[in-house]
A and B are shown apart, each in its own frame.
Chain A
Amino acid sequence: MMSLGPYASFIVTSYALVTAVVLILIIAIAIDYRSLRQRLRELDQSGITRRSGRSAADLR
């Protein structure tokens, strides 16, 4: 077991906080992506297409 000395709580809190914020960023971006794709698919199904004629949800 790694010994972190008398200031272990400061070290653990720092790493936990960085982990939490990075995870929040990753999850927020992933949720945003899924929500956007879903709304684009709904538009596609309602008959709205891009000028190129491709599907709205097409990633090209």
Chain B
Amino acid sequence: MISLLLLVPLAGMLISIFLPARLSKYWAAAVSAATALLSVQLLRTGATAERMPWIPSLGVDYHVAADGISLLMLVLTTVMTLLAILASFESVKDRVKEFYALLLLLESAMLGVFVAQDFVLFFVFFEFSLVPMYFLIGLWGGERRLYAAIKFFLYTLSGSVFLLLGIIVLYLKSGARTFDAATLLAASLDPVTAQWVFWAFFLAFAIKVPMFPLHTWLPDAHTEAPTAGSVILAGVMLKMGTYGFLRFSLPLLPQAGHAREIVTVLGVLSIIAILYGALVSLMQKDWKRLVAYSSVSHLGFCTLGLFSLNASGISGSVLQQVNHGISTGLLFLIVGIVYERRHTRVIADFGGLAHAMPNMSVIFAIAMLSSAGLPLLNGFVGEFAILNGAYQANALWAYWSVPGVVLGAAYLLWLYQRTMLGPAQEVNARLQDLTVREWLTVLPLVAWAISIGVYPKPYFDLIAPGVKAALEALHRS
């Protein structure tokens, strides 16, 4: 079943090559919708692990499995891909076939990251996902697309090669002739090795998240990417980093020497990311760049929750990863919708959009409030759990990150005020409101945001076993 989920987009991509270009978008939408249904079905029924030898002489297996956390990530991936495809119907006019083929290929790779239980398999998916994204940014992006694309590729690749080295060290030092992640992470290591491997992994995942100060690729990539690319980057690909932290970095901590100091450093880096990201967002003149920097701040919360190393923080972090996908995905979709009409992203060019586009302004308000963490919307639940966890871990962490919440509200509300409210300029007065297709792209996310905000319990229940396993790994000695 999991393999089927990986194969559907891949097969869809291969078939799409032979379809006429005018059908590409419908085909891609159909394939990704089928994938999304499949992933929801998996979420309902649960997934069985699949395992078979791949490279027996090295102990590499094709081993995929999914617990609650993985399932949630799978659904996030398939939904985001579907919406990204729907959002591109009008905006992508050049090389249409290639565009949708790459999106489907990317979907397959991203899904693989969240289900791989073998380190080599994980690495293959983790690294290969860069290739389609490079092209999505580089071919369909904004003005500085090629610079942003290669910066993204080189930056993340430089991190992931160290992940490969870390995996190899782990493989050889553990003495287990297998690349099975669970086996390798459970093997006993000397503290020095564990620490080196930890930092190698850290580099790869921290760049992917991205954590301060390794975040400099993100504003360029997110801003220059086409709407679909931004939605997927923010919605899914950043989570590959936090997911990697949760699955592969945390289990190494107990064995690494100076674990306490390491965690303190990472917690402080997360807080810096929260505050720094928010402050920089406050200063942005470009709408999309503002949303991009807000990701740095929000992912800071996610990593802070993870490194709280307690149930509340970790489960809050996992939920917040989904929340960030929903709210930032929505924000990027809205930027895309407005950009299609006005072909500018400079905040000063807007104002009073609420008059011309009342429906859009309501959706934007929901997205903004969800991102800012208003109660009864999804962002609040995640941030609350994270701050609760951070407080348990270190009260100072909570004190220092709360201003991030306030700043988050500030830059988002200010953005809303500058773009939506006030008198409408001449050029903005006659913009068309949301079309049916655009309603279709935003409504699922709005509904999801509200449902998590109102009743988050099923999500916490879903996450709980995975979090429990992570905590058990942390507390074994």
Partners in one complex: no
**Taking beta carbons and an 8 Å cutoff, which residues of A are in contact with B?**
none
